[in-house]
Amino acid sequence: MAGNSTGGGEDLPTDTNGKSANNNSLVVTFGEFLIDFVPTVGGVSLAEAPAFKKAAGGAPANVAVCVSRLGGTSAFIGKVGDDEFGHMLANILKENNVDNSGMRFDHSARTALAFVTLRADGEREFLFFRHPSADMRLHESELHIDLIKQAKIFHFGSISLIEEPCKSAQLAAMDIAKKSGSILSYDPNLRLPLWPSAEAARKGIMSIWDQADLIKVSEDEITFLTEGGDPYDDNVVMKNLFHPNLKLLIVTEGSAGCRYYTKTFKGRVPGIKVKPVDTTGAGDAFVGGLLSSLASDLNLFQDEKRLREALAFANACGALTVTERGAIPALPTKQAVLDALTKHHAS
């Protein structure tokens, strides 16, 4: 099955302009795609929730949809169950002009489920059903190799590193992308309850650290990965998390914005203040916003002025996403982001 799309998702060979997906700004994301069940009312525990609403979830898929909604070209590679939910997820990608030809359907494992509570402050708690789920069962032999080779940017997380066979599939996909000249983008997206232990999570997340060209990490993740280091201390960040091959390290600070580190410059870009309704997908929207800019201009790594503009754009993507419930429904269009930035500068 490797190298072709037989047995894959409902194919989407062309984008809305009738061009095939092998243009030179393709962003391919890899990893988990699942169903989130979110309480119909905010600020309650799972036990207290009167009812749940289903929504598509999974960071890599969110990033792919974000890139597409911003006018870019994207594809997603991952596995879901051959069930109602799995086919629903494949369709959501298709409806959002994301190439889903790299999706695979597992006949014995179900699509993963996650129950997500929104606390009163808009932050989340998770309860996962993955024993095992289909996303964990993607085999190296099922990779859509041609699609990976076309990626200008290949983006992934760490959740697929927790279990075999998807761990080997991810490492193989990263290797193919690297050899094909893709930029490797990594958002560890720590989900501690999914790992066997904190130590396993730390080790697993760091095991591929030095292979990435671009890494986005949150303040909490820095504290976790450095075992208590101060996320605001540049020395802690540079000493522990910057590696010689890294082109760009981003530290996200939620509504406050982000910091950036390259070999030659570093700085901070403030965020846009909004009233948060649901923080789900904010980090993914930030990544999608950054990757959409990067896919059309790889010189951002060297040009601080243009990088700062791209990060302000990414901050606005994240900010707009928290103003609505759900991740995918809340992801903004390019015009909405540009309008928000204009309004922000005017104030």
Q: Which of 187, 213, 278, 284 is catalytic?
A: 284
> Residue 210: what are its φ and ψ, rounded to 5°?
-80, 0
DSSP line for 127-161: EEE-SSBGGGG--GGG--HHHHHT-SEEEE-SGGG
Told to judge if 11 belongs to the known catalytic residues of this protein, a careful annotator would answer no
Cβ density class 158-184: b for 16+ within 10 Å, e for less: bbbbbbebbbebbbbbbebbeeeebbb
CB 139 within 8 A of CB 163: no
H helix intervals, 207-281? 219-225, 234-241
Place of tokens 């708690």: 125
- Helix, strand, or coil here: 120? coil
Residues 6 or more apart whose CB falls under 8 angstroms from that of 337 comprise: 70, 289, 313, 316, 317, 320
Annotated catalytic sites, by residue? Answer: 284
